Amino acid sequence: MGEMIVVQDLVKNYGEFCAVNHISFTVPEGVIFGFLGPNGAGKTTTIKMLTTVLDPTSGSIRINGHDPTREQKQVRRSFGIVFQDPSLDDELTAQENMDLHGILYGVPRAERLKRIDALVDLVGLGERKKDFVKQYSGGMKRRLEVARALLHAPRILFLDEPTIGLDPQTRNHIWGYIQQLSKEEGVTVFFTTHYMDEADRVANDVAVIDHGKIVAQSSPAELKERTKCANLEDAFIALTGHAIREEEANATDRMRMMGRAWRGGGRR
Amino acid sequence: MKAIYILCVRQLKRYIRSPARIIGSLGQPILFLVALGFGMRAMFARAGGGNYINFLSPGIVSMAILFNAVFSGIEIIWDRQFGFLKETLVAPVSRIEIVFGRMLGGAIVAFAQGLIVFVICLIAGFRVVRSPYLPLAIFFMFMIALLFAGMGTVFGSVLQDMQGFPLIINFIIMPLFFFSGAIFATNGLPRVLLILLRLNPLSYGVDGLRGALINQFAFGLVTDLAVVTILTALLLAIGSYFFSKIQL
């Protein structure tokens, strides 16, 4: 098995601030990899660089053998992503959102329709696929986004806090599909989460990032052993300390707040 | 090409599904048409300008297109906020295709709004003059739509949130409209206003459309065609450039 993600000496600076500070790691094919860290540690910045939407300051990245800064199309074809925040078009139906994705990714029509049906059934939305996404609950949107990310049969699935704000039932379902997929189709999964029990349960490997640096990388079992902790949450705190992190809200977050106030707070 | 098509279709679906937006954005042009058109009609005629509704209507149609086209570009900010922008930016299609799909879709929507306002003008008493240039009206309407969809794309790509929106409306879009010759004729204007008018891209669109509809040109058909075509190409290029620089 080859290496699906190879990161060497990756750096991202925003002016004086160093968001990602010389990190290196590899993720072998077929592995479920948990990328853990407190708020503002550099998780999302790293995912953005891996997925071609942000240019690194320095360092090198290989996704499925391709460089995200130069071979964007090959890299983009290789992965599916579920973002931290919703990224569906609320004014379209679930089916239309899926179809739009399929067309953008060049999935031929016959295959597209077949896969859309199979995937919306997989995430339990078969009955509701003709509904507008604005009528969906937060959990349903998340499930639809997982289904959409899989539509073009990617080799890697990026999940940025995929289960945030979801009830235990939905979380279990989502991890259920993902584990099934990883086992059956050998899809490599790269995810971030704040739920350490989830990471402990599903990840084959984890890396802990703090202040832009990777402070540990191993299997969850080894990490617990090394820190002499009974569970991953304690191990995580042993590695990253007790201090609460302040993260500065970016423009998008502020907009989201305004949007929420504007609409009377209906979203998620 | 398929990406351009599907993103364009998306804009059209969103437009058709939002009657509130269609009707809402008719309010302003109707207000101008009624208040100015009927309010100033007698004065305009007495000053020897002729039928003011006929003079004003092409300007009001241009106004509807201008606003809707710029809004379609600014919608990028909403898509950024509600997340859909990311979905398109990680797809294996070039930014150029994405932005062209968006601009084309926005321009078609603005053009459609322009047609609706055109019909309203006809109802208010606007009479098209039989002239050989009539088919060019469609061309000018669509070019105005494309040009300002490109300009809106620049704003939508550069602005991070809606805070700057009133700035754009009050200091760019409103002046573009008022100093375009949409509501007054160029003869007898103070020198400063005339220069502003000459520098305003919309002036040539308005003049071209007015010329096509009532055979009354201020700058001349060739000038209007040349300026509008060149500026549209330029704005589409600048809009694409700024959109391609978006980082999340």
Say which residue, B163 or A78, is predicted with more confidence.
Answer: A78
ipTM of the complex: 0.89
- What pLDDT does A250 receive? 61
Q: In which residue are the tokens 């098995």 written?
A: A1
The DSSP result for B20-55, as a single string, is: HHHHHTTHHHHHHIIIIIIHSHHHHHHTT---HHHH
Say which residue, B147 or A267, is predicted with more confidence.
Answer: B147
Taking contacts as CB-CB distances below 8 angstroms, the residues of chain A near B12 are: none
| Class of residue A169 by CB neighbours under 10 A (exposed 0-12, middle 13-18, buried 19+) | exposed
- What pLDDT does B48 receive? 83
The chain A residue lying nearest B82, using CA atoms, is A87
Number of structural domains (chain B) is 1
A263 pLDDT higher than 80: no
Taking contacts as CB-CB distances below 8 angstroms, the residues of chain B near A54 are: 247-248
The chain B residue lying nearest A72, using CA atoms, is B92
Taking contacts as CB-CB distances below 8 angstroms, the residues of chain B near A73 are: 92
A264 pLDDT higher than 50: no
Report pTM: 0.88
- What pLDDT does A261 receive? 56
In 3-state terms, chain B is what percent helix, strand and coil (to 5)? 75, 0, 25
User: For an interface test with A, which of B7, B84, B247 has the most A Cβ atoms less than 10 Å from its Cβ?
Assistant: B84
DSSP state of B221: H
Nearest-neighbour CA in chain B from A243: distance (Å): 28
For A117-139, give one letter per residue: b (16+ CB within 10 A) or e: eebbebbebeebbeebbeebeeb
Residues B55-105: pLDDT tens digits?
999 999 999 999 999 999 999 999 998 889 999 999 999 999 999 999 999
- What pLDDT does A257 receive? 58
Residues of A contacting chain B (CB within 8 angstroms) = 48, 51-55, 72-74, 76-77, 79, 81, 83, 85-92, 96, 100-101, 103-106, 251-252, 254-256, 258-259
Across the A:B interface, residue pairs with CB atoms under 8 Å apart total 83
Taking contacts as CB-CB distances below 8 angstroms, the residues of chain A near B5 are: 103
CB atoms A81 and B3 under 8 Å? no
- What pLDDT does B136 receive? 95
Q: What's CA A71's distance to the chain center, in Å? A: 21
Least confident of A65-74, A244-253, B226-235: A244-253
Number of Cβ within a 10 Å radius of residue B43: 10
CB atoms B83 and A251 under 8 Å? no
- What pLDDT does A181 receive? 86
Chain-wide mean pLDDT for chain A?
Answer: 89
- What pLDDT does A119 receive? 93
CB atoms A92 and B13 under 8 Å? yes
Measured CA distances, B28 to A19, B31, B32, B61, B127 (Å): 47, 5, 6, 11, 21
B187 pLDDT higher than 70: yes
- What pLDDT does A247 receive? 64
CB atoms B10 and A106 under 8 Å? no
Residues of B contacting chain A (CB within 8 angstroms) = 2-3, 5-6, 10, 13-14, 17-18, 77, 80-93, 160-162, 247-248
Residues B13-68: pLDDT tens digits?
999 999 998 999 999 999 999 999 999 999 999 988 889 999 999 999 999 999 99
A145 pLDDT higher than 90: yes
DSSP state of B185: -
Strand order in A3-14's β-sheet? A17-28, A3-14, A58-63
Residues B117-139: pLDDT tens digits?
999 999 999 999 988 899 999 99
Say which residue, A230 or A246, is predicted with more confidence.
Answer: A230
- What pLDDT does B47 receive? 86
3-state DSSP call for residue B186? coil
Least confident of A49-63, A145-159, A253-267: A253-267
- What pLDDT does B205 receive? 97
- Domain containing B98 equals 2-244
Average pLDDT over residues A86-104: 96
A259 pLDDT higher than 80: no
Average pLDDT over residues A46-71: 94
Say which residue, A191 or A260, is predicted with more confidence.
Answer: A191
State the pLDDT confidence band at B206, using cuts at 50, 70 and 90.
very high
Per-domain residue ranges of chain A: 31-52+74-262
d(CA A151, CA A173): 18
Nearest-neighbour CA in chain A from B163: distance (Å): 9
* C-beta of residue A195 within 8 angstroms of C-beta of residue A233: no
State the pLDDT confidence band at A265, using cuts at 50, 70 and 90.
very low
CATH number of A31-52+74-262: 3.40.50.300
Nearest-neighbour CA in chain A from B175: distance (Å): 27
- What pLDDT does A249 receive? 60
A97 pLDDT higher than 60: yes
Average pLDDT over residues B218-235: 96
